């Protein structure tokens, strides 16, 4: 039977994206700080890591991270607008715009790095 | 288009199963018509609720093809596009029998959210003069049409995930009272609606807004409560322990 | 309701840190997209940040805001989606905050002082 049909609307998906992106970013942070901390051991160690990370698979993962960050930011802006500006309309357009901006940011990153 | 609809109806309580019926199709038929037909002509043991059957009372709320709706206001043509229908009781509420649920928790939460009026005047005092364009009055007016049908409660994911969550209807009602100039219960009320079973549990997924048959926005009310409780907390007025 | 005060305060801190992060992330993403042009190297990162007090302050603020924001978010997820007790999720939140502060400042101070190692 059609369970979950009541969840098939933009704001629910926006919530899922916000939660998933937030969780993944929170898990990524210690890794990010660890890598940057390699700079303390000298530039060569960090460069060694950066060389490894210039492979296409890692570049893809990085693009995904950028999209996640942008998505979390734009989703957060949607949420803050709802909570503080008290927008009444379901502002589904806002969800679409926010997602669009996030994807564009990821693309800008991916294109710039190649 | 065939002239019968295949209807799957939930039978039993928490443990139960779907039972299938063939119902003749009629012009302008609503889902309530379908259920009524089954009960009157096929299986008189089917239990369900309705009252006004014209979209004013909210008694006929059920889950139709996975979504909570008023069955008297749901045209079969709109939902049974492939000639089939699935009807179940409202989600998030205990099933009494078949399509009827126990609304006790729903109304208890209205009380828990302090959705009751605390008068500040007596019969000897003058009326409260509140202009129609008063900001708070408009906020209250925007949510006051709630008839407690339970559709938003059934649609809400947080109610599903958190048994203690007060729910959109109770919080919406609380908000109308927060904005009522005549009410004197805000100290208790704000403490009652704050917390992880209160307004802060809402993540603005707006399942309530999506499904409310009266097009109310409990999300709007809940964000209002978030702002008011924040102000109260900053001033140290919330109490409530911890 | 029990915990009303603390839940509300956490909500306020979450939104305040979100506002700060809104600015920080915007700058950070813009900088990344610009910096990634023609590849990324340690020297480039270090040149930008080392000895530069403004970048240091920027990242310090960034880390403080994230150290508030991320743990509160993780706590909510744990409360809603796991069977951990409120006390346990509170502890996880505190630990995560500490981890972010320690690792974050280690990284940013390291980069700020890294000029000498080049």
Tell me the whole-structure pTM to 2 decimals.
0.90
Over range A9-30, report the average pLDDT. Answer: 93
Residue of A15, A43, A107 for testing the chain C interface, max C β-carbons within 10 Å: A43
Residues of chain B with Cβ-Cβ distance to A88 below 8 Å are 142, 217, 220
- pLDDT score for B241: 45
Q: By the 8 A CB rule, do A78 and A94 touch?
A: yes
Which residue is listed with tokens 């900088």?
Answer: C31
Pairing assessment for the beta strands B4-12 and B84-88 based on DSSP bridges: parallel
ipTM: 0.87
- Tell me if C7 and B234 make a contact (CB, 8 A cut-off): no
Residue C10: which residues within 8 A CB-CB, separation 6 or more?
B200, C72, C75
Phi-psi map region of B150: left, alpha, beta (phi>0 left; psi -120 to 50 alpha): left
Residue B91 parent element (H or E): none
Across chain A, mean pLDDT equals 80
CA distances from B70 to A8, B67, B74, B151, C21 (A): 19, 10, 6, 8, 43
Distance CA C31, CA C49 (A): 12
| DSSP symbol at B19 | E
Alpha carbon distance C1, B112 (integer Å): 9
Q: Residue C57 — pLDDT band, cuts 50, 70, 90?
A: very high
Distance from CA of B127 to the nearest CA of A (A): 30
Task: Kindly state the average pLDDT of the residues A10-34.
Answer: 93
**pLDDT for the residue B84:** 94
Under a CB-based contact definition with an 8 Å cutoff, are residues B152 and B110 in contact? no
Q: Distance, in angstroms, between A30 CA and closest chain B CA?
A: 26
pLDDT of residue A44: 65
Q: Is the pLDDT of residue A91 over 80?
A: no
DSSP state of C102: H
Residues of chain A with C-beta less than 8 angstroms from the C-beta of B224: 86
Euclidean distance between the first and final Cα of chain A, in Å?
Answer: 47
Pull the structure tokens for residue A91.
């502002």
* Among candidates B8, B207, B224 on the partner chain, residue whose Cβ is nearest the Cβ of A6: B207
Cβ contacts of A84 on chain C, cutoff 8 Å: 15
Crossing angle of the two packed helices C53-81 and C4-35, in degrees rounded to 10: 130
Which residue bears the tokens 């009410």? Answer: B183
pLDDT of residue B230: 94
Query: What number is the average pLDDT over the span A43-52?
Result: 68
Rounded to the nearest 5 percent, the helix, strand and coil shares of chain C are 85, 0, 15
Q: Which of A9, A12, A83 sits opposite B226 (nearest CB)?
A: A83
Closest residue of B to C12, CA-based?
B230
pLDDT of C46 above 80: no
Chain A residues closer than 8 Å to B67 by CB: 5-6
Residue A8 backbone dihedrals phi, psi, to 5 degrees: -85, 70
- What tokens does A53 get? 């990370």
Contact C4 B191 (CB under 8 A): yes
Instruction: Return the pLDDT at A3.
Output: 66
The pLDDT of residue C42: 67
The ranges of chain B with pLDDT < 70 are: 1, 239-242
State the pLDDT at residue A88. Answer: 63
How many angstroms separate the Cα of C44 from the Cα of each of A56, B83, C47, C107? 21, 65, 5, 15
Q: Which residues of C54-80 are buried (b: 16+ CB within 10 A; e: fewer)?
A: ebbebbeebbbbbbbbbbbbbbbebbb
User: How many Å apart are CA C67 and CA C102, to the nearest integer?
Assistant: 10
Residue B239's pLDDT is 64
Question: How many CB atoms are located within 10 Å of the residue B225 CB?
Answer: 24
The partner residues of A85 in beta bridges, in order of sequence, read: none
Give the ranges where chain B is alpha helix by DSSP (H): 31-37, 76-79, 104-112, 135-143, 151-155, 157-161, 168-178, 186-193, 207-211, 218-234
The alpha carbon of residue A4 is apart from the nearest alpha carbon of chain B, in Å, by: 6
Question: Which of the two residues, C113 and B131, has the higher pLDDT score?
Answer: B131
Contact status, residue B5 vs residue B85, Cβ threshold 8 Å:
yes
In this prediction, residue C118 carries a pLDDT of 41
Q: How far is C53 from chain A (nearest CA, A)?
A: 17
Distance CA C31, CA A74 (A): 17
């Amino acid at each position: 039977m059609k369970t979950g049909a009541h969840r098939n609307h933009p704001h629910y998906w926006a919530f899922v994206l916000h939660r998933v992106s937030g969780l993944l970013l929170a898990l990524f942070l210690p890794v990010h700080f660890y890598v940057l901390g390699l700079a303390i051991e000298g530039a060569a160690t960090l460069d060694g890591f950066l060389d490894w990370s210039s492979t296409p698979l890692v570049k893809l993962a990085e693009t995904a991270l950028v999209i996640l960050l942008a998505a979390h930011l734009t989703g957060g802006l949607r949420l803050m607008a709802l909570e503080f500006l008290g927008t009444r309309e379901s502002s589904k357009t806002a969800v679409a715009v926010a997602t669009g901006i996030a994807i564009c940011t990821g693309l800008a990153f991916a294109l710039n790095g190649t | 288009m065939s002239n019968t609809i295949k209807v799957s109806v939930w039978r039993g309580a928490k443990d139960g199963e779907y039972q299938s019926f063939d119902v003749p199709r009629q012009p302008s038929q609503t889902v309530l018509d379908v259920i009524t037909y089954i009960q009157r002509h096929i299986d008189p043991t089917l239990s369900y609720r309705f009252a006004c059957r014209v979209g004013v009372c909210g008694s006929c709320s059920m889950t139709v093809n996975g979504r909570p709706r008023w069955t008297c206001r749901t045209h079969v043509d709109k939902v049974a596009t492939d000639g089939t229908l699935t009807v179940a009781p409202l989600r998030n509420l205990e099933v009494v029998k078949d399509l009827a649920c126990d609304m006790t928790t729903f109304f208890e939460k209205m009380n828990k959210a302090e959705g009751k009026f605390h008068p500040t005047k007596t019969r000897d005092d003058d009326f409260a003069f509140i202009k129609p364009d008063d900001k708070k009055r408009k906020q209250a007016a925007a949510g006051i049409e709630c008839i407690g049908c339970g559709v938003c409660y059934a649609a809400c994911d947080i109610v599903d995930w958190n048994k203690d969550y007060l729910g959109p209807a109770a919080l919406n009602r609380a908000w109308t009272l927060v904005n009522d100039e005549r009410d004197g219960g805000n100290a208790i009320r704000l403490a009652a609606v704050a917390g992880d079973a209160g307004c802060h549990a809402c993540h603005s997924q707006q399942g309530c807004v999506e499904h409310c048959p009266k097009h109310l926005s409990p999300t709007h009310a809940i964000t209002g409560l978030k702002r008011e409780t924040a102000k109260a907390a900053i001033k140290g007025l919330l109490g409530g322990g911890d | 309701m029990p915990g009303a005060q603390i839940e509300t305060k956490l909500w306020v801190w979450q939104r305040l840190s979100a506002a700060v992060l809104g600015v920080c992330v915007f700058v950070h993403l813009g900088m990344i997209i610009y910096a990634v042009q023609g590849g990324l190297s340690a020297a480039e990162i270090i040149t930008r940040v080392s000895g530069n007090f403004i970048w240091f302050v920027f990242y310090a603020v960034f880390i403080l805001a994230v150290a508030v924001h991320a743990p509160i978010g993780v706590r909510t997820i744990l409360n809603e989606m796991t069977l951990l007790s409120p006390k346990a999720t509170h502890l996880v939140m505190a630990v995560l905050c500490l981890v972010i502060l320690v690792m974050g400042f280690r990284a940013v101070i390291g980069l700020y002082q890294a000029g000498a190692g080049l």
